Amino acid sequence: MSRPKLWSAVVAALVAVVMSGTATPGASAAAMSPTAGNAAVASAGCGKDPTLTSGTHTIQSNGKSRSYILKVPDNYDKNRAYRVVFGFHWVGGTATDVATGRTVETGTWAYYGLQRLANNSTIFVAPQGLNNGWGNAGGEDVTFVDNMISQIDGALCADTSRRFALGFSYGGAMTYALACSRATVFRAVAVQSGGQLSGCSGGTQPIAYLGVHGISDGVLGIAGGRTMRDKFVRNNGCAAQNPPEPARGSRTHTVTTYAGCSAGHPVAWAAFDEGHIAAPQDGAGGDSGSRTWVPGEIWRFFSQF
């Protein structure tokens, strides 16, 4: 994703677009409990034989045929409520790019590097955007997410209290739109180098929020990322501050966790010395699926719940 030609396409495309459930009988209390935190809230699919498997699935949404790639854990247990993570692709990217990680490092970078860290504890979803983007006209992409959630919850054993979303660039914009409009549906979000391209319907409720942005981002500037972050600093009741950010040329990153946030609604900000890339690494420029620190930070943020 860091090749010059690809990012030229990213810039051009972005310029063009900007102009609860109860436990199912048969599932034991032990099986419904996650490894840490509050008890899981089991979806309707718990205790039943699964009717979805790993692979590409098609669904009708707003009168359009939409698709997504699903990764069900190996040795799936119908009596275990799994966390669910949605990974949204960047402009010009695809669901396959997210599901395979091929644009940075195949396998290692699958689902933004989280699949390997999850160790079969999580259901992963890679939705496909219309025209390889997330214009969300009239809220249609948010509705698409609602439809996917409904299908997945009915077909698989999901923890409806632990849904998460992340995405890079336009995918970060879509993730931000969900933070605004579906704060009671998703437990936490991670917005990587995003901008306000997919709208922000609502935007008044708290949700756990992690922002990741490069200080030299020339596509979606860090000032916009700070503004997006600060909305949830306010929504979550956190103490306002100006988090430290790394110096230009340092090839480092800083992570700040805000103080005073309301219970269950932390805000964290990770700034790095690089441009508009998804997998920054300390000590060197460019993307690296195996050396980047970003998946570890996101996984720690999501796993606290």
pLDDT per position as a tens digit, 194-219: 999 999 999 999 999 999 999 999 99
pTM of this structure? 0.89
The pLDDT value given to residue 8: 40
- Residue 165's contacts (CB-CB under 8 Å, 6 or more residues apart) are 85, 86, 87, 88, 174, 175, 178, 179, 186, 189, 190
Shortest CA distance to 123 belongs to which of 54, 39, 35? 54
- Return mean pLDDT, the chain: 90
The pLDDT value given to residue 184: 98
Q: Which residues of the chain have pLDDT under 70?
A: 1-37
Q: Which residues of 263-297 are buried (b: 16+ CB within 10 A; e: fewer)?
A: eebbbbbbbbbbbbbbbbbbeeebbbbeebbbbeb
The pLDDT value given to residue 11: 38
pLDDT per position as a tens digit, 268-292: 999 999 999 999 999 999 999 999 9
237/241 Cα distance (integer angstroms): 12
Shortest CA distance to 265 belongs to which of 223, 225, 213, 301? 301
